[in-house]
Amino acid sequence: MFLFQFLIILLINSGHCQAAEWTFMVYLDGDNNLEGAGVDDINEMEMVGSTPEVNIIVQFDRIEGYDISNGDWSDTRRGKIIFDTSNTIASELVSIGEKNMGDPETLREFVSWGMNQFPANHYILVLWNHGDGWHTRINQYIQGLANVKEKIEKEGSTPQLQREALQLSKKIALATKAVCWDDTDGGDALTIKECREALEGLTSKIDIIGFDACLMGMIEVAYEIKDVGEIMIASEQLEPDDGWPYDSILSDLISTPFMSPEELSKTVVSQYGSFYGGEETQSALSLEKVPLLAEKIDNLAAILLTETLDWEVILTARNNAGHFFEPDYRNLLGFLNSPLNLAENEAIKQSAIQTQEAFEETIIENHSGPEEGANGLSIQLIELGGDFPFDYNDSNLSFAQDTQWDEFLLALSEYQLPDDQYEENDSFYEAWPLTQGEYQSLRCQDDDWFKLTKNDNEPLIITISFNHSAGDLDLEIYDNEKNLLDLSDSTSDLESVYIEPEATGEYFIHVYGYNGATNLYDLSMYSPLPDNFYTCNTITSNWIDATDGIYLEMGDDDYSSVAIGFEFQFYGITYTGVKISSNGYLTFGYVGDEYANQPLPVPGEPSNLIAPFWDDLSPNNGNGVFYKVIGEAPERKMVIQWDDVPHFNTVEGITFEVILHEKTNEITFQYKDISFNDLEYDKGKSATIGIENISGTAGTLYSYKKASLSEGEALHFSPRESSYVNITEISIENGEVFQPNLPVKLQINAISQGNSIFYQYWLVGWGGASQYGIEWSLIRDFLSDNTCTWTPENNGHYLVLAYVTDDPLLPVDSRPFAAISIPVGKPSYHPHLVSLKADISNPQYVS
């Protein structure tokens, strides 16, 4: 009898202690402007809920002032996620007080609690929050602001110094330290080193470490955590606000709970790619194979440091590698490709090839949209003569300690750029005379001054493009009496100034490095082409109040990605979603948080732009931003309203809105109140108002830094009447693998929605991706049978654009087009892209 009772107790206890198959742990740091997104993600998890085989647990830290739902609590809570289909959090999350999510001890305690309370055969840990790759930038900005304040105290305040102080203050507010920053604990955050230290010595090794955060897909990050996990999942590029699609990922895991860590990592990557319609970036990689990859990178760095080498080859290799928001975060595989793996120096060539092979072995699964061009991992790679990142050192990064990559970066930084041909032009009185056009590879070593005479009545845009992280350059324009007319000091890779159409005379262009920075740059001076897609007219306003719609929680220099609710065509391309910026614009592109407005059109981010009032606005200090969709198909309208929104430098706010019209694809700007009660900003005095296409080569500028608006006014943008042509198929013939010096045959089929097609105007261009877009190597007509044959000369990723029109007078940049990526000599793990079948506005890649 005693033995029977003992066996019963043993069976009961063993049932309680039986481990689940997976414990899915989410370290959800919402103590910042992402609080609302955190609430949404918990609701996504609850759409699936935990099961006996899968535990879903979270630790959620919230903050006051962003999301007022679910009791609006602001402490830290944690618990197990249960199934629930409502829009409120039903899971019992127990308060553990206010925790600093930027403290490594808080992370360690959460993971230990999760493993002890919810034992499983496999563990995945997701670090959820903002991310910034390996490093911290905030100390640079703090020191820079201190320098500016000291200068103000010594020399007195000037408008330029005030703008510099404002710029640095904003950078400090936005700066991150790797991942998971906590606003209510002084902006503390987890460095990658702290992440590793927090996860060392756990009772079980974590199978998957995932970063639901921006820019974490870096070799420096992977190497740091190689000994505390088996697999890493991360994005090379920025992540949208929605982050991981937890409902679809967890649904797959619940339905197949015995999947291996590798299978789950592939599921995360594929579901992420599907959720964003084939765009964005995400990858899974083997941490076990990272040491070999690091060893090969170390060997390559040593060879590059010792072998005789033309440093311009390094510059070419770097520029061939795409970058991800941070210009110095370069696609690692892109850097290893041509010219390094084809170098004449055999040691360099073999080392690059071996590193590439180790890279391919490391990547488990990779997803990248066609525009991102990501292969799974990026690496810190500065410009020639650029600033060496002071915190890229042995004490912060194991990768720097164990490889010679930091020595290689130091060598890059010490490269001395020679003067360009326009020196000496260091002062207003030494300005070098130029005419309108393009001037490439100029070198700003000190101050550069140029002189331009404008005789026509066309508007003139002047831009400089450069790698911002290699040195922050600014741009000014003066008249011949040395009066400052316009300046540009954004935080992007492009600065631009504008001269009104009627303004003729002599102008002086000033390019200089912020805080003494030096850099290479390209200078462009051009009059924008007429917008062949849209007309703009002033109409009577018919205000539609949207404050009864959906409120968007935004901080300063913030944006939200939302669904439009219907298909909307903009410059010939159809969209179903849009980014709404706190700074008074919409974009179908990538950058939704730029506060430094530019004239239009300019070939830089943000592009694909609808700007009813692009300026440095602060909705979080006003009533905010709202949107709603009204009407019935096919004549619905999306209304986005900025309500009583102040400028960053004002107290009082303005109210305006933009309306997107279904079916007609028209756009309406309406202005209810355009006075900040400050003449520096009222009526659009400091704003950009207009639209711009995806390439930044065409657009309509209504006004730029000009008090041009009136209350009750409305602007209406209407597509010009035209009969568009849709490309329905691009097919490629060349076997399974595209190789250099082997011909590629393309055939295009198209249908016309109006007039007959002008076949002789079908064009195709191809080239390697560069920092500023596509470097076209040639442009050709298609033959009468709608085919074209091209022979690539080198390995690389090429983009084919097929333009087609039924209007022979329509400029190429304004023609409908389709695109397809052709990877030549591509890695074997990458799916073969063999055809594109699509309407031009919604391409779908078929493998």
For 195-249, what is the HEC assignment?
HHHHHCCCCCCEEEEEEECCCCCEHHHHHHCCCCEEEEEECCCCCCCCCCCHHHH
- Does a structural domain hold residue 272? yes
The CATH number of the domain where 111 resides is what? 3.40.50
Kindly state whether residue 7 falls inside one of the protein's structural domains: no
Contact call for residues 403 and 357 (beta carbons, < 8 A): no
List the chain residues with pLDDT less than 70.
Answer: 1-17, 130-150, 157-178, 308-310, 371, 417, 469-470, 721-740, 744-847
Which amino acid is located at 680 in the chain? E
**Residues 388, 437 within the same domain:** no
Are both 547 and 678 inside the same structural domain? yes
From residue 697, how far is each of 49, 373, 532, 610 by CA, in Å?
48, 22, 11, 14
Is 487 found in the same domain as 383? no
Q: Which residues pair with 798 in a beta bridge?
A: 768, 822
DSSP-derived 3-state class of residue 316: helix
How many Cβ atoms sit within 10 Å of the Cβ of residue 181? Answer: 25
Boundary of a domain, candidates 386, 412, 438: 412
pLDDT recorded at residue 785: 58
What pLDDT was estimated at residue 749? Answer: 54
Is 762 contained in some domain? yes
Q: What is the pLDDT of residue 425?
A: 92
Residues 440 and 392 in one domain: no
DSSP tag of 382: P
pLDDT tens digits, one per residue of 354-383: 999 999 999 999 999 876 789 999 999 987
Q: Are residues 359 and 373 in the same domain?
A: yes
Verify that 92 and 224 share a domain, yes or no. yes
Residue 421 falls inside a structural domain: no
Q: Which among 719, 754, 772 is the end of a domain?
A: 719
3-state secondary structure 688-742: EEEEECCCCCCEEEEEECCCCCCCCEEEEEEECCCCCEEEEEEEEECCCCECCCC
810 and 695 co-located in one domain: no
Assigned token pair, 719: 């597509």
Predicted local distance difference test score (pLDDT) of residue 160:
58
Pair 279, 397 in one domain: no
State whether 597 and 696 are in the same domain: yes
The secondary structure element, H or E, covering residue 84 is none
Omega of the bond prior to 52 within 30 degrees of 0, cis? no
Domain count of the fold of the chain? 6
Based on the fold, state whether residues 216 and 314 are members of the same structural domain: no
In a shared domain, residues 456 and 468: yes
Residue 842 confidence (pLDDT): 32
List of E strands, 480-584: 484-488, 494-499, 505-513, 519-526, 534-540, 550-552, 559-570, 573-581
Domain presence at residue 164: yes
Structural domain includes residue 422 = no
Query: Can you give the pLDDT at residue 724?
Result: 40
Instruction: Clarify whether residues 324 and 294 are in a common domain.
Output: yes
Domain that holds residue 154: 138-173
Residue 90 included in any domain: yes
Instruction: Flag whether 230 is in a domain.
Output: yes
With both helix axes pointing from N to C terminus, report the angle between 346-362 and 290-306 in degrees, rounded to the nearest 10: 160
